A and B are shown apart, each in its own frame.
Chain A
């Protein structure tokens, strides 16, 4: 039954988090013992600007249901202006997703500073809920999508 299928769907979300801000916020969320949906797997990078176009698309084509990019608030980047470039690339990626008929809501960018443990929990949990509603990555069901 369709509803059963949807219940069994546990999203697989990849989170590319920058070392200095978002990753630290994730640590703080953990130390504060906040409950965070286990669907997101954290991959640490030094700066969100490391996340290139291909990496995001490859992640999606490999079957990720959702992708979260986490970086420092604009102006706070540990590497001066890296996150401004992330922002531009993200805007471009959203547009490419649309062209490829992938729901752009599956890609999210979040600026989370190291002291925002609660915010990290909120962002991850609400993103997980959103992906649950969007359903599985269409490529997982139909590779020729």
Chain B
């Protein structure tokens, strides 16, 4: 018996969501599995996305709402794929659904449960720049707008103390401490992997002072700093010392040499940050320290030109990852390779490390579970010998977006749409 009408999509970021809506519209039943308690992926962490600098939440909110309200899409948050058997047309997939402890149907998102919770935690979604409670949604505007409880830190669920604060505050009886992790088996005809990316988190970061010098930030941290729904409501507040930076150095290509590839998006997002900084702090000085400018889309060069002409000072480095960053009396000293016309070093208040995009950390495990190949960079491998395909080494399993390789949102969505095309070609 064939299950060609059912499709599993792993990852509810922009690519996964767009693919799910297209498939659902044509009558396919989609199961959209997402490991976080909310959908939206990395895109919703941006205040604005290049090249139009459009408000990401405004752009994605209608998509998220469509996905959540669509009868043909079953969204499973806090879930991960654990096992896959079978072949194209007939995959049996085992999914682990972690307990949320809050009912998705009863909760109306009023938020009354957060304040009484006595446990305060680092909020990883906010890059640890902000706090959350043990019962939490990652950010304002989360969808689904239903909290989850971190069972490891919840006093009651971890057995540390009896506490009923959130349940008492809830007028809808939505909190259920006896919720359990669940294992679900589904049958699908095809699988689309859209698990996105992580940011480079290797040893270069500490070499550049990240972690020891408080005002060195990763790109994702800066996204959350600038976000109006972020931990500082969009104020570019430094971690230590001065309140706001007078000068910022954005260092491109972090991890490029080590990883052996250019991520294709960091130049653009670096220019975006330069634009953000001048937007909030018109008097600030911004430096873009680069080794190549990669603007591969027809709309990108003009943004680069604007930043080059009226925003930042561009400083060329003969190779990526050769700057040196050290603390210097509350400021940060960025040592550059000497070259005609270039400064030897800069003294700035803030450094942003524009990090490479790497495969999501779940990639290896997922590749093993699905029995598909990964390439030598750790991304999921598309079928060799074929041009322009998103099919992996296994029939019926496709990979799209940054799960396949670093790329911007436009290319991710194009791949997602092409996967839908390939699914229809394969399954009918």
Verify whether A and B have any Cβ pair under 8 Å. yes
Q: Show the binding face of A for B, using Cβ within 8 Å.
A: 20-21, 24, 28, 31-32, 72-73, 75-76, 113-119
Instruction: State how many angstroms separate the Cβ of A118 from the closest Cβ of chain B.
Output: 6
Q: What residues of chain B lie closer than 8 Å to A73, measured between beta carbons?
A: 54-55
CB contacts (< 8 Å) of A72 on chain B: these are 55, 58
Q: Kindly list 17 other residue pairs between chains A and B, CB separation below 8 angstroms, not including A31-B140, A117-B229.
A: A21-B58, A24-B58, A28-B140, A72-B55, A73-B54, A73-B55, A75-B53, A76-B58, A76-B59, A113-B55, A114-B61, A114-B141, A115-B56, A115-B57, A115-B228, A117-B140, A118-B233
Minimum distance in angstroms from B132 CB to a CB of chain A: 15
For chain B, residues 44 to 88, give those with C-beta under 8 angstroms from any C-beta of chain A.
47, 52-59, 61-62
13 contacts between A and B (CB under 8 A): A28-B140, A31-B111, A31-B140, A73-B55, A76-B59, A113-B55, A114-B57, A114-B58, A115-B47, A115-B55, A115-B228, A118-B228, A118-B233
4 nearest A-B pairs in the assembled complex, by CB-CB distance: A113-B55, A114-B58, A115-B57, A76-B54
Task: Name the residue of chain A whose CB is nearest to the CB of B145.
Answer: A31
Q: What's the least CB distance linking A32 to chain B, in Å? A: 6
B66: min CB distance to chain A, Å: 13
User: With A and B bound together, what is the CA distance between A31 and B137 in angstroms?
Assistant: 13
- Closest CB of chain A to B45's CB: distance in Å? 12
Task: Report the number of A-B residue pairs with Cβ-Cβ less than 8 Å.
Answer: 49
What residues on A are CB-neighbors of B227 within 8 Å? 115
A28 to chain B, nearest CB (A): 6
Of the candidates B47, B54, B140, B233, the one whose C-beta lies within 8 Å of that of A75 is B54
Q: Smallest Cβ distance from A57 to chain B, in angstroms? A: 30
Interface centre among B52, B53, B229, B233 (most CB of A within 10 A): B229
A72 to B54, CA, bound (A): 10
Closest chain-B Cβ to A125's Cβ sits at a distance in Å of: 16
Chief secondary structure at chain B's binding surface: loop
A119 touches B61 (CB 8 A): no
Given the complex of chains A and B, what is the CA–CA distance between A137 and B180 in angstroms?
A: 61
Please tell me which one of the listed residues B57, B62, B228 contacts residue A119 in the complex, with CB atoms under 8 A apart. Answer: B228
Known contacts A75-B52, A116-B228; is A20 also within 8 Å of B58 by CB? yes
Closest chain A residue to B110, Cβ basis = A31
B-chain residues with CB within 8 Å of residue A24 when the two chains form the complex: 58, 61
- A116 CB contacts on chain B under 8 angstroms: 228
Which among A28, A114, A118, A119 has the greatest number of chain B C-beta atoms within 10 A? A114
Question: Are B62 and A20 neighbours in the complex by a CB distance under 8 Å?
Answer: yes
Chain A residues near B52: list those with CB within 8 A.
Answer: 75-76
Cα of A28 to Cα of B229 in the assembled complex, Å? 10
CB contacts (< 8 Å) of A118 on chain B: these are: 228, 233
Q: Shortest beta-carbon distance, B344 to chain A, in Å?
A: 40
Chain A residues positioned under 8 Å from B58 (CB to CB): 20-21, 24, 72, 76, 113-115
- Chain B residues with CB under 8 Å of A75's CB are 52-54
Complex: A114 Cα to B65 Cα, angstroms:
14
Could you tell me the distance between the alpha carbons of A95 and B229 in the complex, rounded to whole angstroms? 36
Would A76 and B55 count as touching, CB distance under 8 A? yes
Closest Cβ of chain B to A126, distance in Å, is 17
The residue of chain A having its C-beta at the shortest distance from the C-beta of B57 within the complex is: A115
Bound complex: CA A118 to CA B62 (Å): 21
Q: Name which of B58, B62, B233 has the most chain A CB atoms within 10 A of its CB.
A: B58
When chains A and B are docked, how far (Å) is the Cα of A118 from the Cα of B109? 19
Docked complex: B296-334 residues within 8 A CB-CB of A: none
Beta-carbon nearest neighbor of A115 in chain B: B57
- Provide the bound-state CA to CA distance between A31 and B140, in Å: 9
A28-B140, A28-B141, A31-B111 given; A113·B53 CB < 8 A: no
Does A114 contact B140, Cβ atoms closer than 8 Å?
no
Nearest residue (CB) in B for A113 is B55
User: In the assembled complex, how far is the CB of residue A72 from the closest CB belonging to chain B, in whole angstroms?
Assistant: 7
* Docked complex: B201-256 residues within 8 A CB-CB of A: 227-229, 233
CB distance from A82 to the nearest CB of B (A): 14
Q: How far is the CA of A75 from the CA of B51 in the complex (A)?
A: 11
Q: Are B55 and A21 touching (Cβ within 8 A)?
A: yes
Task: Give Cα A31–Cα B142 distance, bound, in whole angstroms.
Answer: 12
Given contacts A20-B62, A76-B52, contact A113 B57 (CB under 8 A): yes
Contact with A along B368-412 (1 / 0, CB 8 A): 000000000000000000000000000000000000000000000
Neighbouring B residues of A117 by C-beta, 8 Å: 140, 229
Contacts of A31 in B (CB 8 A): 109, 111, 140
Closest B residue, CB atoms, query A32: B140
Give the shortest distance, in Å, between A56 (CB) and chain B (any CB).
Answer: 25
Output the nearest chain A residue to B109 by Cβ-Cβ distance: A31
Q: A117–B140 Cα gap in the complex (Å)?
A: 10
Q: How far in angstroms is the closest Cβ of chain A from B19?
A: 22
> B206 CB to closest chain A CB, in angstroms?
33
